[in-house]
Structures are given as structure tokens and as C-alpha cells.
Amino acid sequence: MMVAETTKPHVSLLPSPGLGHIIPLFELAKRLVIHHDFHVSFLVITTNEASAAQEQLLRSPTLPSGLDIVELPPVDVFAITTDDTLVLTRICVIVEESLKSLKSVLVELGNPKALVIDLFCTQAFEVCGELSIPVYSFCTASTALLTLSLYLPTLDREVDGEFVDLPEPIKVPGCIPIRTEDLLDQIKNRKIDEYKWYLLHVSRLPLAAGILLNSWEDLEPVGLKAVRENSFFKQIPTPRVHPVGPLIKQEETTTAAASNIECLAWLDKQPPGSVLFVALGSGGTLTAEQLTELAWGLELSQQRFILVVLSPTNSSASATFFNVGSDVNDPKAYLPEGFFERIEERGLVVPSWAPQGLVLKHPSTGAFLSHCGWNSTLESVTYGVPMIAWPLYAEQRINATILAEEVGVAIKPAVGEGKTTVGRKEIERVVKLVIEGEEGKLMRTRALKLQESAAKALDICGSSHDSLARVAKEWKA
């Protein structure tokens, strides 16, 4: 383990596996180094199935001096999981195995001033307790999910049976109620391991010295007020909450990947605000039937679009979570016959991956059809782009409802009663609405206001900059 010697204050960051967890913590690490003069050791849980996209991110030649990548001893995933192990359980058992080495790694690093972990690394509390290192929790998702998570141990004690069978929405104290159908998959069935793992980790949140949030004051004011002021959260007690976002991936414009050049060159030829960007996240896939309906809906809408596609699967919406960037596919093999010829002038199909940040910030992009993962949500809002909300798994349904009903920057397609697939006519309707309808213009206006707000929050003297500065001061004391 080679770590540069430095007199700067030294902290460590530890994300659980998956790009959705790694990216925001990696951006936090960069901000601590560049804006707050820290030396940061970024601890990486390694396995024998690391994704190509993760490798590319962590091996960037443009990393700032003072940010060290420290790989924990590798875990043999195949020895501790099976093919049918669900995503969250898989993450948790990998983390548990990996963190057996955490104490020796932290000692070798010279006992950093603090360790920042995400939600699924709470075994670190015990390790760091032995070393007298304060542990801070970083919430990679929304404030809404944080408040629900803090409330879950109480809900678990007070409710018999399944939460999804409750006659009314879940009333998290001080927050907007959550419909039972929007609950994240991991807590819809209390008998499975995923629920037990999730409950275990969230019940440890009060052990944190503080909670850093990838959000900012103007985006989720109701939830932030509740977690700070509501008597329920004070009684838990909830650690002090520090909104430090939006922390989003900074795309490197210098990269010359073919998909970058093709996407951006195509966008350059389109009118301002005219293109719908369709990308359902690094880990999300659709069924063959749903992908066919999506393709027909885009074609029928007569709007311009970029469609990023992964091979369809009928097994799981999160099928590509652990092999991001490794999917090689030929869209002509599964998109409708003649689709490419019919949309030649208006659409661009990109297999596997596109430079999302660069596409969203391009002036020709007018809307984003997204799975509503929190990283993608923050990117869309940060670049002032309204959304069509298409949640697939995890907490994405909660995010989609917040964006559509509270923030007002998204529309959710309707699924017919008794159906699981969104039909092509409904897709046609929402695409037209968001690109050229009056409601779409209103959503864009709101998104542009939030874009300004996000930029101000991160500026020097902005709310998120100052929030992180206060934490940095604690670490430097």
C-alpha cells in the first residue's frame, strides 16, 4: 500500500460496491482535496468481478495530488454468494467480508482523522471504535430515503405484517407520506435477507458522528427541516445532518471514446432543447417486451432522441449492477425490425453507455427519460433538464414521486391497471408533453431555477460549501 506522505489533515472515505455509491463519495474526496486542503485515502472494496467503468473512474490520469486510491484485499465473490443472491444482500456480504481487513488498513494509514462510510459499511463503527476514529455516514440517496431509513426501526417495532399491506401511506414524522407501492423493494418483504440487512444498517445510523447528504437546502426543504427539527428525529437521536451536494460525476471532455464523439457530434446538429436523452442507469435493464414498447413510443412521438440501450433481460431490473461497462450488445438484434431505418433522421441508438453528463449539459438536450437513481437525478437537475421518471428498482420509485409531485420537474408515465408494461401510446404522450407541451415548459423553468440554486450551493459561501467546511473544521481540530 503506497500512500504519499503529507502534513495535511488526513481522512479516509469508504464506499460500498456499485458505481451509484462510489461516484458521489469519489466527488466528495476530490472536493476535500481541492477545496479544503485535505489528504484523502479513498478505500476501495475489490472483488474478482470489478466493473470496467469502475476501473476507468478510479484510474483517471487527472486525479488531484493528495487523493490516494487504496484497495482493500480482494474478496472472492463466488465463494460467498450464489447466482440468485439479490443485489443488496450481495453488496452486504461482500462488504462484511472485505471489512475484516479494515482495522489493519487504517492502522497502516496512520489512523486517519475520520472515516466517511456509506450506508452499507456500518461494520466500520466497531472497527473505528477500537481505534478512536470518528465515523461519518454519507447518504448517497435522497433526504426522503434518509428520513424513511431513520424511521424504519420504529416502524419495524410498531407494525405487524407487511408494510405494503398497510391501508394508508407511511407517515414519516414531519415528512410527506410515502405510498406503500413506492417503498423500496428491500423493505417490501420483511422475511427476506435484504430486509434484515437493510434494517441492520439503518439501525446503526445514530452511531455516526454526523451524516453527510448528497443534497442541498433548496431541493428537499421539507425532509431537511424534519430531520433537523422534528421531535421524533431529535429523540432517536439523529446525528447532525450536513447537506453537501449536489456531488455529481465530472465528465472528462478530453476523452475520445467513440460514443462520446458520436453522441456530441450528433447533438451539435440538433435544434436547442429538442432532444430526449433516454438512459436507464448503469445497472438497469428492461424486459424485451418493455424495450419494444419504448422503441415504438419514441418512434411514434416524432421527437428527436438518443436511446442508450443494454441487452434486455426478463430476470431482474438490476441485472447489470455488478458488471457496468462490460455489456457488449448489438441493438439491431432486439429492437423492432426496421426501427433504425425509420428513425434515421431523428434518433441515435447507443449500445451500453453514453457520456451522460456531457449529453445532459448540451444545449440541444431538452429532457431526460431516467430511472431516477439519485446520481442521475442530481445530474439532470444540476444541468436544468426536466425528466420523464421511469423507476426500476431500489429507492427509485420514491425519487420519481418526489420529482413529479414535490419538486415539479418530472412526469411519470401511467401503467394501465393490471399491467406491468408502459404502452407505446403512453410513451408517445409523455415524450411529446415534456419536449413540446406547456407542462414540459413549466418543468423546464423549474429545473433551470434549481440549476441556479445548485450552482450557488456549491460556490464559496454557498450552503453546501459552508456545510462541508464546518465538517472539515471538525476534522482539522
Ranges 125-129, 228-232, 284-288, 362-366: which has the least confidence: 284-288
Task: Identify the pLDDT of residue 314.
Answer: 77
DSSP 402: I
Is the predicted pLDDT of residue 255 greater than 90, yes or no? Answer: no
DSSP one-letter string for 274-286: -EEEEE--SS---
Angle CA(39)–CA(40)–CA(46) in degrees, nearest 5?
150
Contact 387, 279 (CB under 8 A): no
Exposed (0-12), middle (13-18) or buried (19+): which is 31, by Cβ within 10 Å?
Answer: buried
Residues 53 and 355: beta-carbon distance below 8 Å: no
pLDDT band at 94 (very low <50, low <70, confident <90, very high): very high
What are the CA-CA distances from residue 315 to residues 182, 249, 266, 320 (Å)?
21, 29, 33, 11
| Confidence grade of residue 1 (pLDDT, cut at 50, 70, 90) | low
pTM for the model: 0.93
Beta bridge partners of 139: 213
Cα separation, 242 vs 463, in Å, equals: 10
What CA–CA distance (Å, rounded) separates 477 from 473? 6
- pLDDT, position 330: 87
Which among 291, 326, 293 has a CA at the least distance from the CA of 312?
291
Confidence of residue 190 (pLDDT cuts 50, 70, 90): very high
Residue 24, preceding peptide bond in cis (omega within 30° of 0): no
Residue 41, C-beta contacts closer than 8 angstroms, at least 6 positions apart: 3, 10, 11, 12, 13, 68, 70, 109, 112
Amino acid of residue 46: T
What pLDDT, on a 0 to 100 scale, did the predictor assign at position 100?
97
Distances (CA, A) of 448 to 134, 293, 362, 386, 433: 38, 30, 14, 9, 18
Report the 10 Å Cβ neighbour count for 349: 18
CA–CA separation, 336 vs 330, rounded Å? Answer: 13
Look at residue 257 and tell me whether its pLDDT is greater than 70.
Answer: no
CA distance 302 to 428: 8
CB 375 within 8 A of CB 20: yes
Res. 147: pLDDT tops 90 = yes
Which one is predicted more confidently, 213 or 324?
A: 213
User: In this model, does residue 284 exceed pLDDT 80?
Assistant: no
Hey, is 305 helix, strand or coil?
strand
Backbone angles phi, psi at 396, to 5 degrees: -65, -30
Query: Can you tell me whether residue 10 is helix, strand or coil?
Result: strand
Q: How confident is the model at residue 394 (pLDDT cuts 50, 70, 90)?
A: confident
What value does the mean pLDDT take over residues 279-306?
93
**CB neighbourhood size of 180 (10 A):** 16
Instruction: Share the mean pLDDT of the chain.
Output: 92
Catalytic residues: 21, 118
Among the listed residues 431, 356, 362, 359, the one whose alpha carbon sits nearest the alpha carbon of residue 390: 431
Instruction: Decide which of 252 and 298 is more confident.
Output: 298
List the domains of the chain with CATH numbers. 10-249+460-476 (3.40.50.2000), 258-455 (3.40.50.2000)
Q: At what angle do helices 143-158 and 221-229 cross, to 10 degrees?
A: 50
pLDDT band for position 258 (cuts 50, 70, 90): low
pLDDT at 272 over 80: yes
Q: What is the pLDDT of residues 12-46, one digit of tens each?
A: 999 999 888 999 999 999 999 999 999 999 999 99
Dihedral angle, C-alpha 436, 441, 443, 448, nearest 10 °: 120
Task: Enumerate the β-bridge partners of residue 279.
Answer: 370
Assign 118 to helix, strand or coil: strand
* Mean per-residue pLDDT, 389-396: 93
- If we measure between CA atoms, which residue out of 358, 131, 404, 161 comes closest to residue 255? 358
